[in-house]
Structure 1
Amino acid sequence: MQRIGLIIGTMDIAESEDSYLFQVSLPGVRRDRSFSCELDMNGEVVISGMIVTGEKMIHRLGEVFVRKTENLYQPSPFSLSFRLLGPIDLVQSNLNFGRDAIFEGVVKKQMNG
């Protein structure tokens, strides 16, 4: 039987004249202090945190559910990295982890001038 489940780290990168946009799919990732995104001036992006899906026992609305399938990732730390298309300005970035499980960053290109 084929195992299916969440796909963590699927991403898109887009470019404008002066900025880069990246969008990374992070379903099941906890939005707390364990989550981080580090950028370096060469355009390297490192995202890390905790996956919180896949628990055996789930407590919701005063009830306890026991998982009968195992298609989701098990709770564990994760890390992924990728490089944008060029150097970036570390001071000018806007990062947002939306409720839709999409982590999005807009970072300015480093302009030689």
Structure 2
Amino acid sequence: MGVEDHSESKVKPSVVLTGSAKESYGPSIGGVDIGVSQNAFLFRVALPSIRNDQSNLKCEIQSNGRVVIQGMITQGTGVLEGLSSECEMRVEKFCTPGPFTISFTLPGSVDPRLFSPKFRPDGILEVVVMKSRRPGDPVDAWVPPS
């Protein structure tokens, strides 16, 4: 048996950041990891300081593998918990408030109807999307044990 060389199988996405995501000086927003299996792609996107309930987070996946994530960073100058007045931040390490876009392309075509997103409490958007099938591709089947 030969040794497989996985060095070429590393996927290095070209990630484009716009808006508040591009202006981040603190925890990195828009870091992307991509995993590949026989039938699907998994990608994880770092979205620190994003709150799912206030960010209007939207993830669009196109059949050519193009992924566009949009949202709104709502944190910044404002009323801090326990205080009754607004505070002007003097040192800003987090993303500035405003809209953002993160876009990248998966290393193959997908079926955009077959994806499963999960926004984890640690600020990671994790998505599994199935690869597209062409006529004649083998179909996975579950066979009950004998």
Q: Which bracket does the TM-score occupy, shorter chain normalised?
A: 0.7 to 0.9
Checking the alignment, whether the CA contact within 8 Å between 2:63 and 2:111 is kept in structure 1 is: yes
Report % sequence identity. Answer: 37
**Paired residue secondary structure (1:63):** coil
Runs of 4+ in 1 over 4 A off after TM superposition: none
Checking the alignment, whether the CA contact within 8 Å between 2:66 and 2:106 is kept in structure 1 is: yes
> Per-residue deviation at 1:4?
4.3
- Match of residue 121 from structure 2: 99
> Per-residue deviation at 1:63?
2.1
| TM-score normalised by structure 2 residue count | 0.68
Whether 2:95 is the aligned partner of 1:110: answer no
- 1-structure distance, mates of 2:79, 2:110: 42
> Per-residue deviation at 1:58?
3.5
> Per-residue deviation at 1:106?
0.2
**Paired residue secondary structure (1:13):** strand
- 1-structure distance, mates of 2:32, 2:131: 19
- Match of residue 37 from structure 1: 59
Q: Which runs of 5 or more residues in structure 1 are unaligned?
A: none
Checking the alignment, whether the CA contact within 8 Å between 2:25 and 2:95 is kept in structure 1 is: no
- Match of residue 21 from structure 1: 42
Higher strand share: 1
- Match of residue 106 from structure 2: 84
| TM-score normalised by structure 1 residue count | 0.86
Larger radius of gyration: 2
Q: 2:83 aligns with which of 58, 63, 80?
A: 63
- 1-structure distance, mates of 2:25, 2:104: 24
- 1-structure distance, mates of 2:62, 2:73: 24
